[in-house]
Amino acid sequence: MPLAFPSSEFDDAVAAVCHGLVSADQAQALNALLRQNPAARDEYILRIELHSRLAGQREPFITGARGAEGSTATPDPGPTLPSALPVSQRSRLPNWTVVAAAACLAVLAAGWWGWNGGRKDERKGATSQAVAVLNRVVKARWTPGSQPLEPGSPLEPGWLRLDSGLAQVVFYSGARVVMEGPAEFQLISPGEVICRTGRFMAEVPTQAIGFRLRTPWMDITDLGTQFGVDVSALRAEVHVFKGSIEIQPAMASPKLKLDEGSGAAADHANPPVLITANRTGFASLFDLQAKAVDSDFSRYAQWREASQELNRDPSLLVHFDFEQAAPPDWLLPNTSRASTAEPSGTIVGCQSTEGRWPKKPALEFRGVSDRIRLRVPGEFNSMTLAAWVRIQGLDREFNSLFMCDGFSPGTVHWLIRKDGVLGLTIIGPPDNYQIVASPSVLPLDQFGRWIHLAVVLDGNAKRVTHYLNGRPVAGRTLRIRPPFRVGIAELGNWNADGFTQNDPALIRNFSGAMDEFCLFNRALTADEVRALRDSGRQQPEPGAGQR
């Protein structure tokens, strides 16, 4: 009888292989299925690999080459790859059983490495079409309906529509443009932009000479300068503060060169008129840096107030705000006021760095020794993990965010895969575990920016949900039953708890910085996760976007 996948017959056949009880009919049917169905093959390998780690071990996962997540690591293709079956049973199995197992182990040797059949180094969104970066904003309020943008966001060609406030865009050519809302601004390339309405100030270094700013009434080509542009529905003005520019009016007029202190006004019906540059009219744009500093200070104070309120939540077992993440004692205070909260974590090897705001401390993780050790006693029906992180690189196959020591039942491992996938592994009873992986949601252009990550493990609703910047990006049914536990755990690295094998997959350090970490003993709702992120974002205003 042919086997279907998924099916209880498939489950029975794989279990029979693991325990040396497979019949000839089961082996033949399984072999045929595995040759034809990649999904069945992946699931088979997961189960065989896990069973081989557990079989005959007094303490599961302590002495094997990998733990429950070994199925998500790149297996060694060499001769030491374990057989799926105990030695005492192997000699008694029919040849076709060995063939079925060998076929799957050959797939392992060919480079399969788990997590829904993902390929090594495969990354969706790894390339970027961005031409500029959103550098700074001050009270920026953007047109509703856009996707959120934060300072540091890469900007691809398209429209930015600013309702009010200030925003600075730095082009990859080196040119900088400050806009004041209301303004409409279309990015074309690293060296060209269209300004439909609004006030703008451009500063162009010598490396970006030739930068072009177009309006409905004139095109402006920079010759190495600083200039301001005021565009309305009826006319456009340009004011040269430093250097010189060249303008091409929309009317069939010759090009004009304007030097420092001069300017021009143009509309659709008349030739351009020469004017005197008015620096005072662009005073608010010149003040961007000072206003940004004031805005950062105000926002930081707001976050600190919200953080104090958060600490009163009785379900918050761990809250590292990193406000005192510095020598000499290398203790990281847990600011939660929950009665069962541990007083502190221990910093190992990390260095202090700047956080989300200039005066906000954070910790930087660089090497394989950098980590924060913590202890969380107790058992929980649900958990929520959340952190503000700045990723510098995904250097390992698996990059740790929060991982419990070892693989005791009920523990969890939260990490980022090399291709930008968020993953949570939940360890169940022996022979059982679950990996919940998101799509690839962290492309390379997210690196170097502060982002908010969260994962909710809901034992009541039997659901696991990954969040990125307050938005759910993946949800799966939870198959592992509570209780869940933490015990001894680490942020930013992983203690393999007894592993001695020289397996690169066991090194899972995080490369980047962490600014805040929360662990709740309950499942936060989607609204609560979004509110947690909004209270800690660098700018509190509604999001920015391109259309």
- Compute the average pLDDT of residues 504-526: 87
Least confident of 139-143, 377-381, 387-391, 513-517: 139-143
Write down the pLDDT at residue 144.
76
- Compute the average pLDDT of residues 354-376: 88
Q: How far is CA 142 from the centre of its chain?
A: 23
Q: In terms of Cα–Cα distance, which of 35, 21, 33 is closest to 106?
A: 35
Could you tell me the pLDDT band of residue 546, with boundaries at 50, 70 and 90? very low
Q: How far apart are CA 434 and CA 413, in angstroms?
A: 11
Write down the pLDDT at residue 532.
95
Could you tell me the pLDDT band of residue 54, with boundaries at 50, 70 and 90? low
Q: Is a pLDDT exceeding 80 seen at residue 104?
A: no
Region for 26 from its dihedrals, namely left if φ exceeds 0, alpha if ψ lies in -120 to 50, beta otherwise? alpha
Could you tell me the pLDDT band of residue 64, with boundaries at 50, 70 and 90? very low
Is the domain defined by 157-286 classed in CATH 3.30.70.1090? no
Q: How far apart are CA 491 and CA 510, in angstroms?
A: 8
| Cis peptide, bond prior to residue 272, ω within 30 of zero | no
Write down the pLDDT at residue 401.
93
Q: Is a pLDDT exceeding 60 seen at residue 96?
A: no
CB 456 within 8 A of CB 462: no
Write down the pLDDT at residue 106.
35
SS3 category, 386: strand
Q: How far apart are CA 98 and CA 30, in angstroms?
A: 12
Which H/E stretch holds residue 526?
Answer: helix 526-536
Q: Where are the alpha helices (DSSP H) in 59-153?
A: 87-90, 95-109
- Topology match between the domains 157-286 and 295-536: yes
What does DSSP say about strands 361-365 and 256-259: parallel, antiparallel, or unpaired?
A: unpaired
pLDDT digits (tens, 9 = 90+) for 275-312: 999 998 888 788 777 777 877 888 889 899 999 999 99
Q: How far apart are CA 436 and CA 409, in angstroms?
A: 16
pLDDT digits (tens, 9 = 90+) for 352-364: 898 988 889 999 9
- Compute the average pLDDT of residues 58-70: 35
Q: Domain ranges for the chain, please list them.
A: 8-109, 157-286, 295-536
CATH topology of domain 295-536: Jelly Rolls (2.60.120)
Any idea what DSSP says for residue 546?
A: B
Residues 6+ apart with CB under 8 A from 50: 68, 70, 71, 431, 433
CA distances from 115 to 280, 311, 458 (A): 59, 36, 21
Any idea what DSSP says for residue 21?
A: -
pLDDT digits (tens, 9 = 90+) for 441-475: 988 777 888 999 999 999 999 999 999 999 999 99
Q: How far apart are CA 503 and CA 181, in angstroms?
A: 55
CB 27 within 8 A of CB 35: no
